[in-house]
Amino acid sequence: MAELTLDSITKIFTDDDGSDIVAVDDVNVDIPDGEFLVLVGPSGCGKSTTLRMIAGLETITEGEIRLGGERINEQPPADRDIAMVFQSYALYPHMTVKQNMSFGLEESTEMPDEKISEVVTETATMMGIEDLLDRKPSELSGGQQQRVALGRAIVRDPEVFLMDEPLSNLDAKLRSTMRTELQRLQEDLGVTTVYVTHDQTEAMTMSDRIAILNDGVLQQVGTPLECYHEPNNEFVAGFIGEPSMNFFEMAVEDDQLVTEQFTYPISESVRSEVDGHERVMLGIRPSAISVEVGAMPADDHDFATVVDVVEPMGDEENVYLAFGDERGDSVETFVATVGGMQRLESGQSVVAHIPESAIHLFDTDDGTALKNRDLEDLDERDPHLQ
């Protein structure tokens, strides 16, 4: 077991026409021993490249990767004591499950055959695939192949697990089961794990910490709730959370924020946060908005809206609201999440309450967070948040 350090690593690909593409730009992350770190970001953000650099499958243009304090930049993949689970599972199609799982031990250790067989059987039992040991990968379901791929990584007993979107080829139901299982497995084994995904739900639910990448640049590293409640910038705020945060670009006028659609009064303390900015981006989580039917706007932060579309999820509903009383394709809407028992219908007039304590404000130029929501009420419930 060891901690993994990414020290200002950069990857530049040179295109055929000689132009450079910066895939990963000066990324710094310290991953303590036993941590489950999820690298998350949209497609093409450099997360897989980062993982492949850790594995040794890509060279590192600049910077240093250290495993247990030792520089591993120049080590070939085989010497790094790292096991990787691929999105396609990458099982060897001509070998049985047992041969697949034994391969790594046969190639990288001096272990005698009986010992290998013992370790493989043990791991297979732990993964619940002991009945499949004599089958070929083509005779297995997606979920079973996934387990074999994991088992193959586990038998190696490596310092670090790398996982490249390992669940994305599974159906939704199996994916959520495997999510829990993987998390439990990682906790039991206590092996440092770097997990790449584009799915923010996986990132939120599985990780000890999330590292969010965009365009090769590290946006934020933090616990899931830190990233959710205290995003560093607009990108993180929009990426984490489902449905996404609502954003309104607004002009700052004295003690209120103004758009064509609505005017949002702000208190003295919030005003001081946006000093010197003419325009700001206001962000509000759908779950922070409360919706009331049949009431009149009672205070400054209540707004008369009309329901455009309702997406029932069962236990809750995503409601798309438009300011004023017009709705249709041309009207911009925002989302609020309400309880599933609150029956709303398209076209209904409702009052949306956007509490000032829950708003986020971002710089319109570089997206930096100027103000995040107040967390006094959350502190006691969540020990992760400082």
Q: Does 78 interact with other proteins (rule: CB under 8 A)?
A: yes
Pair 212, 218: CB distance under 8 Å: yes
The letter for the amino acid at 10 is T
Taking CB under 8 A as the criterion, the residue among 91, 140, 203, 338 binding other proteins is: 91
| Beta carbon of residue 87, minimum distance to other proteins (angstroms, whole number) | 8
Q: Would you count residue 359 as binding other proteins (CB under 8 A)?
A: no
Q: Which stretch binds other proteins (CB under 8 A): 89-97, 194-202, 238-246, 247-255?
A: 89-97
User: How far apart are alpha carbons 205 and 183 in whole angstroms?
Assistant: 9
Counting contacts by CB under 8 A, is residue 55 touching other proteins? yes
Return the structure tokens found at 255.
Answer: 């003690």
Near other proteins by CB under 8 A: residue from 73, 87, 169, 201: 87
Please give the full DSSP string across 328-361, using - where no structure is assigned. STTS--EEEEEETTS---TT-EEEEE--GGG-EE
Among 49, 65, 103, 280, the residue binding other proteins under the rule CB under 8 A is 103
Q: How far is the CB of 140 from other proteins (least distance, A)?
A: 16
Q: Is 25 or 157 the residue whose CB approaches other proteins more closely?
A: 157
User: What is the number of other CB atoms lying within 10 angstroms of the CB of residue 239?
Assistant: 26
**Strand residues in 35-159 grouped as ranges (E):** 36-40, 62-67, 70-71, 82-85
Strand partners, 6: 29, 65
Query: Which single residue is written with the structure tokens 């350090």?
Result: 5
Could you tell me which stretch among 70-78, 114-122, 223-231, 310-318 binds other proteins (CB under 8 A)?
70-78
**Least Å distance between CB 251 and other proteins?**
51
Chosen residue from 82, 167, 284, 288 binding other proteins by CB under 8 A: 82
Instruction: Determine, following the binding rule CB under 8 A, whether residue 142 of this chain makes contact with other proteins.
Output: no
Q: Is 156 in the site for other proteins (CB under 8 A)?
A: yes
Beta strands at 360-363 and 349-353: parallel, antiparallel or unpaired = unpaired
Q: Looking up tokens 């996404």, which residue turns up?
A: 244
Asked if 115 interacts with other proteins (CB under 8 A), we say: no
Q: Which of 18, 93, 276, 383 binds other proteins (CB under 8 A)?
A: 93
88 binds other proteins (CB under 8 A): yes
Q: SS3 of 290, please?
A: strand
Out of 17, 19, 69, 76, which residue is the one contacting other proteins (CB under 8 A)?
A: 76
Interaction of residue 104 with other proteins, rule CB under 8 A: yes
Asked if 100 and 152 count as a contact pair (C-beta separation under 8 A), the reply is yes
**Between 165 and 208, CB nearer to other proteins:** 165
Query: How many angstroms separate the Cα of 119 from the Cα of each of 105, 115, 186, 295?
Result: 9, 6, 18, 66
> SS3 for 1?
coil
Residue 111 sits in the site that holds other proteins (CB under 8 A): no
With respect to other proteins, which residue has the nearer C-beta, 88 or 272?
A: 88
Considering only residues 8, 44, 92, 339, which one is a binding residue for other proteins as defined by CB under 8 A? 92
User: What is the rounded CA–CA span in Å between residue 10 and residue 20?
Assistant: 12
| Closest listed residue to residue 151, CA positions, set 165, 166, 139 | 166
Q: Using CB under 8 A as the criterion, which residues of the chain lie in contact with other proteins when the complex forms?
A: 55-57, 76-78, 82-84, 86-88, 90-94, 103-104, 107-109, 152, 156
